[in-house]
Amino acid sequence: MLAAALAWAMSCPAPALSLAEPAPAMRIELGRRLFNDSALSRDGSVSCASCHDPKRAFTDGKAVSTGIGGAPGTRNAPSLLNIAYATSLFWERSLRSMPLAQGDNDLYQAPGSF
């Protein structure tokens, strides 16, 4: 499954990058650090990578994801493959950027994060 998902993702054209923004390598490294930083969660115990595991096609492989202290969530973690092409975020497709997600799910986020 992972191999097929990765092959499909790699077949898509590269997303356009703005020349007005910092160098792509710097942006990629910042994204990698933030994605793996558990300090962004309410108690510092989970990061984005906790549920969006690159080894599982950026999902956690669970029917319902767990949050801080093992608390059950209400949804599973969708794959982040090709997220650069997404026009909205989350299952209900209500958000267009992460900054708007503040407080959306207290199981994972720190107050004032994003």
How much is the pLDDT for 95? 54
- Per residue in 12-58, pLDDT (tens digit) is 777 776 666 667 788 889 989 999 999 988 899 999 999 999 999 99
Dihedral (C-alpha) 60, 65, 67, 73: value to the nearest 10 degrees?
Answer: 170
- How does residue 101 score in pLDDT terms, banded at 50, 70 and 90? very low
CB neighbour burial string for 69-78, b if at least 16 within 10 angstroms, e if fewer: eeeebeeebb
8-state DSSP, 50? H
- Domain 23-114: what homologous superfamily? Cytochrome c-like domain (1.10.760.10)
Six-digit token string for 72:
């059950």
Residue listed under structure tokens 């026009």: 87
How much is the pLDDT for 50? 92
Q: What is the mean pLDDT of the chain?
A: 76
Decide if pLDDT at 91 tops 70: no
